[in-house]
Structure 1
Amino acid sequence: MANMTSAMSALHVPHLTPLETTPRHFRHRQTPTGIRTIDTWIPGPGDRALFASLHLPSDGAVRGAVVICPPLAKEHISAYRGLRQLAQELAEHGFLALRFDYAGQGDSSGRQDDPLAVSQWQASVAAAVAYARRAGIESVAVTGLRAGALIAAATVDTLGDLRAMVLWDPVISGRSYVRELTSLYRVSVDDDPHHDDCTSIVGGVLDSAAVKDLSGLDLSTLDPGSSTKVLAAIRPEFAASPRTVRMLERSGAERMFVERQNQFVSPSSFVLSVPTHDIKQISSWVSRQFGEDKTVVDPEITSAAHVATADDGEEVWETLERRSTGSLFAISTASRTTTSHAATAVFHSTANEHRIGPARLWVESARTLAAHGIRSVRFDRMGTGDSGTVLTDENTPIVSPEARRNVLDLIDTLDVPPSRRMHVGMCSGAWMGAYVASQRGARSVVLLNIVNWSINNRRPPVKKAHVDAMESDVANRIFLVARTIRNAGRRAQRYVPYPLWLGLGFLGLVNAPESMLRTLTRRGTKTAVSLAPEDEAWFEANRGRQGVTRLSRSKNPPHVLFSGSGDHNLFHRSSRERVGRLIVASALDAFGDRRLAVSKHDKEGLGA
């Protein structure tokens, strides 16, 4: 394999050139309620491109705009669907609702470890408000969830007159929030062994200068002015805290209680819940602060943007797309000279994660691959991120047969033969990547912390987390009985003759790693597997090492790597860095550096 460390250094994000505005057309999905959803890039601070989604009535006539400021890191991933539902509700009340990612966060350009990150986040809020006003909207409100409320409040002096502001489950003290983030990382992940100027948090990494700036923010000093109506949607258990009381008194905010916030923004498992009742209350309050007069808006829509620059000056661009019969939201990443037929890496996310992957790893990996001339596509499977309608009180869906069909349809839309496709995924996303490769073929797959080793899976994928989300005593008792039977079977599996065990794996009745690995090997797919310690234990328990030993004699043996440290979710920074190098090295091993091939041709002939 190519040198992995040098491969990751081929990309940097300086101050970027402005967005390229495509012809004025709406890239949108019509919903049954007559709401139009538009995906676009908007200009952010320092010419950085910010990813945004607009939700507005189909006729374009709006009563005002509401800019929605998201939380940070893991809380943003957990709350993503709920914020989409809030935007849809606001659009039904006649507003243009604007969701966006801060610079260096989510899909937006920039680095998450930028020392000036906090000022970039604040400038991103101002840029989003300015974008709404340029569309022809005078009356604007701002809604911030968790850290989004703190960031919006710190920006209020730069936003001009606001009709209203909603502080939803707000972070009041930046200093306390930083302590909470770092403590949670140490308890749930591990100590950070790095000796640099960055601090790891669950779902990301911040420069020490940004940590200091974030610690200095304090919502209790908010003074939005007499013309701005303020709503504090807070948890009942925080109502009497001194910080909350000071914030309410200083801002003159109305108070509303919200429930189920833990399961919404910081769930204990991969199953989260969208608090539809609270969302309706918030959108109704916002609606009451505006008049009924409407203005027809004409927002500027940009489907492609410059998001990074390689060391040699080559521009990296990203295009917003809707693919497959399920209208899955996707983002295609490529260098300026890369053609649509180039070798392509497809990134599959897991659980409730949307297309950014664990702690933004898919975004950063895609932009690094683009610097080597390899195109990437990252997408939201049905029921996650921006794919599919958000349901009332939605819980994280289990990967369904429909999701499998949608992904196969998406792969069929790529104008690339199997020999130039690569799939990357973690956990259930790894399984989906292996499944697609088994059905459509692929040059390479990278399977990260995979736990389901049966492509032909016939076992119901019900987890304890799903049962807990049902809040049903009957469902819980049934699950406990089924788990007892399952555990007894696991204890007995070591006595099953290996040929029989492997056969049951091919039938989808047990978790035999060789069944999946042999299927991929037979198809000629280069397979790299990386397992954290807990996933290695599961692999061993299912006799995976025996299978790998048997496959080592084949012409195309899989490469299984045991990290020896780290965590399943790739929250640990060292784990992400190691996996990032593996992704790039696997791509270069499969396809080579496509930029070298491009340089042999006339770039003008490629449409550069």
Structure 2
Amino acid sequence: MATQLYPSKDILYSPQATWFGDEVSPMLGWYHPAKLRDAGGSRQCGVVLCPPFGHEYMVSYLAYKHLANQLARAGFDVFFFDYGNTGDAADADVVPDRISQWQENIRQAAAQLRQMAGVQHIALFGLRLGGLLAASVAQDIDARAMLLMAPVISGRAYAREMLVLRNMSSINRVSDLALDTEPHSEHKSQRDSQRNLQHSVAHAVTDDELTGYEFSAITRSSLGKLDLLKMPVPAMPVFIQTRDDISGQEAKLANAWHHHDHALHLSDMPGYAAMMTEDAHDTVVPMAIWESMQSWLSRYFPLVSIDSSAYPLTRDVAGIAFNGHVITEELLEFEGMFGIVSHQAGADPKALPTVILCNIGANHHVGNHRLYVTLARTLACHGFHVLRFDKSGIGYSKATPDDRENDVHAASGVDDVSSAMYFMQGKYHSPSFVLAGLCSGAYLSYMAALNDERVSGLVLMNQLTYRWQEGDTIDARRKNTIKSSHFYLHAIAKIDTWKRIFKGQVDLRQITGNMLRRIGKRVRTRWQLLVVNLMHNNFFLGRVARNFRNMEARGTELLLIYDASDTAVDVMTEQLGRHASLLGRSERIRLEIFNGADHTFTPRWAQGALADLISKHLHKRFNAAAADAAK
């Protein structure tokens, strides 16, 4: 039974999301209160978790949550947060130097934790860039301990490394090819303007971005001034965890700091590489390292008894300035899942459908390169209520029914989307819904919409599969996946491609086999189109094409978006015919293809163009529908 001293664990000890910081540019943080009953008391020490940057932030997000839980169970109060202009935080464009901004954000997070938990001491944890930033402000916040995992030693070297990564990226090579060479004409029919590919103008990646994130010259210059080896030796206990994929400079840093009177522990436990993977789906939480860090930190902050534990107030609503508008964002939880609703203050939730954004793979609700944050706020500027949420097993939401995390294609995902719609109906009286997603998010949106008449619109971006069977795995799909035919037709003309073939660096057998299968499937779809046109009967269509036709027939708006070189184009062609010709002629079907955007729309120009395209299309279609209904 819950007591006055120890209220219900479910209420008191659950991580709580809260907005904090400046009113005009708030940040989102997760407060993990110390689990007093489990630990046997409080350590009167709060730990601020400083995240890394960009892709490293995305793939380590789950691991950070587990570290916070590990520390909270041991009696530490923990705060994990997003820097300004990252994650769910607001964009503060008045601060061009992100390094000084993020240093101030750490100070604000430490002050927030002191206020919420009433702790006497603060410790800092940082991974990669988070470690460098944490060390740079440790003295400012009077930190009493520091834990660094594979910290960036030299900001200058890190900036150079990131620029090399950017220059090596394939997105820097802008394609000038298109799938449809027919010139666009203002005199085309309305059907053609909806169906034929309207190729976005390709843009080069700017010097001020890195894999989809802002990385300006001012930020790089400020970063170059930070160097752990040149900083004063910390007057506090320090735990340094090395990386196990390449030889780093952690040992050199430990030697430079060892002469100080305070304890320094250098750990070479494995686990870094398994956590920092290319895809969040593959990340492995380094629990052994987290347990080692918790055990080490506990030695310096013994447990003390406290008489009571008052639960702090959290801030659930924030006003966020975005593109000249003020967007209200509300934190919410339903059936154990976390989400954020974006809308303009005073916007009528019953006037337009509510848009629900479904997770991209195992990435939490901000989306790759913050794509979903940008999309949600852009749509909110057009009058929509938008929910970006984490389905079961992702981010801070509950685990799947079989107690799994990062299960991208879990069957429970369809039920989660349905629960999200019921919740939005109850809280905001949403009249209908537009489901949107990229890659696996598109698959989940498609599956949830099949038999749910509440879905009045679908936005599917680079959908790679239309059917996921029991026993399928992402790894197996990857091994059998090749790039788009468009990509290979372009690559075959390059001398570098032939050099790689002769060196045995290209699996020509797999590519040839898959290309032949693609040709066979395309022949089949052409035969289906011929028979359907002759017989005027959908019976001869494949299952996927029939599903889309049925949804269109019930009035569902369909917006299909692809990158020209993505495999998803060929997958779509195999199921729906070239230019989705098997779907027939309807104003409710629109197909758009980008050039040079890549699978997750990494370039910042592509993110902006995508958000602009989707918001304007939905605004036009559903405002027109509302006007027709009012007549």
Tell me the equivalent position of 2:198. Answer: none
Residue 487 of structure 1 and its aligned partner are, at CA, apart by 8.7
How far apart are residue 353 of structure 1 and its match? 0.8
Using the TM superposition, give the Cα deviation of residue 458 of structure 1 relative to its aligned residue in structure 2, in angstroms.
4.0
Say yes or no: does 1:206 pair with 2:215. yes
Whether contact under 8 Å (1:270, 1:465) holds in the other structure is no
- Give secondary structure in 1 for the equivalent of 2:420: helix
User: Would the alpha carbon gap of residues 208 and 429 (structure 1) be closer, same or farther in structure 2, given more than 3 Å must change?
Assistant: same
Matched position secondary structure for 1:424 = strand
Q: Which residue of 1 aligns with 2:580?
A: 548
- Whether the 8 Å contact between 2:48 and 2:110 is mirrored in structure 1 is yes
Q: Which amino acid aligns with 1:56?
A: P
Letter in 2 for 1:144: G
1:68-118 residue CA offsets vs partner (Å, 9 max, x unmatched): 111111111100000000000001101111111011110111248951221
Q: Which deviates more, 339-348 or 188-197?
A: 188-197
In structure 2, the residue matched to 1:328 is: 337
Does residue 563 of structure 1 match 2:541? no
Aligned length, in residue pairs: 540
Partners in 1 of 2:228 and 2:46 — Cα distance? 23
Q: Is the 2:462–2:569 contact (alpha carbons within 8 Å) kept by the matching residues of 1?
A: no
Pairing 1:43-192 to 2, within 5 Å after superposition: 43-44=21-22, 47-58=24-35, 62-63=42-43, 64-111=45-92, 114-135=95-116, 136-160=118-142, 162-191=143-172
Residue 239 of structure 2 is aligned with which of 228, 231, 239?
231
Change (3 A) 1:42 1:107: same
Q: What SS does the aligned partner of 1:413 have?
A: helix
Distance 1:257 1:588 in 2: 54
Q: Residues 16-27 of structure 1: matches in 2 within 5 Å?
A: none
Q: Percent identity?
A: 23
Q: 1:559 to 1:232 in 2, by over 3 A?
A: same
In the alignment, structure 2 segments of 5+ residues that lack a partner are 1-6, 175-202, 480-509, 532-537
Q: 1:486 & 1:389 partners in 2: Cα distance?
A: 36
Q: Is the 8 A contact 1:356 1:363 kept in 2?
A: yes
Q: Is the 1:271–1:465 Cα contact (8 Å) retained in structure 2?
A: no
Question: Is 1:449 the equivalent of 2:462?
Answer: yes
Q: Offset of 1:148 from its aligned partner? A: 0.6
Cα deviation 1:522-550 (Å, max 9, x = unaligned): 23111111111123542365153347223
TM-score by length of 1: 0.79
Cα displacement (A) at 1:581: 1.5
Paired position in structure 1 for 2:475: 464
Segments of structure 1 that go 5 or more residues without pairing to the other structure are 1-27, 469-481, 597-608
CA distance in 2, matches of 1:241, 1:83: 21
2-structure distance, mates of 1:263, 1:116:
32
- Whole-Å Cα distance in 2 between the matches of residues 58 and 223 of structure 1? 35
Q: Does 1:367 align with 2:377?
A: yes
Is residue 2:428 matched to residue 1:438? Answer: no
Specify whether residues 487 and 539 from structure 1 end up closer, same or farther in structure 2 by C-alpha distance, changes over 3 A only. closer
Stretch moving more, 94-103 or 207-216 = 207-216
Secondary structure of the 1:374 match is coil
Instruction: Report the RMSD for the aligned CA atoms in angstroms.
Output: 3.8
Q: Which residue of 1 aligns with 2:495?
A: none
Change (3 A) 1:561 1:340: closer
The residue type paired with residue 569 of structure 1 is T
Which structure has the larger Rg? Answer: 2
Q: Does the 8 Å contact 1:173/1:219 carry over to 2?
A: yes
Deviation at 1:401, TM superposition (A): 1.4
Asked if the contact 1:145–1:168 (Cα under 8 Å) also holds between the matched residues in 2, the reply is yes
In the alignment, the residues of structure 1 paired with residue 355 and residue 225 of structure 2 have an alpha-carbon distance, to the nearest angstrom, of 41
Question: Measured at CA, do residues 195 and 564 of structure 1 come closer, stay the same or move farther in structure 2, by a change above 3 Å?
Answer: closer
Contact 2:400-2:412 within 8 A present in 1 as well: no
**Alignment equivalent of 1:517, drawn from 528, 540, 548:** 548
Distance 1:225 1:98 in 2: 22
TM superposition shift of 1:403: 2.1
1:534 aligns to what? 566
User: In 1, are the aligned partners of 2:326 and 2:344 still within 8 Å (CA)?
Assistant: yes
Question: What amino acid is aligned across from residue 458 of structure 2 in structure 1?
Answer: V
Query: Compared with structure 1, are the counterparts of its residues 496 and 443 closer, same or farther at alpha carbon in structure 2 (3 Å cutoff)?
Result: closer
CA distance 1:94–1:576, change in 2 (3 Å): same
Deviation at 1:196, TM superposition (A): 9.4
Whether 1:215 aligns to 2:224 is: yes
1:114–1:206 Cα contact (<8 Å) kept: no
Letter of the structure 2 residue corresponding to residue 212 of structure 1: S
Alignment of 1:267-416 (within 5 A): 267=278, 270-295=281-306, 296=309, 298-308=311-321, 311=324, 315-323=326-334, 325=335, 327-343=336-352, 344-389=354-399, 396-415=406-425
Instruction: State the alpha-carbon separation in 1 of the partners of residues 302 and 35 from structure 2.
Output: 19
Q: Secondary structure of 1:209's partner?
A: helix
Letter in 2 for 1:150: L
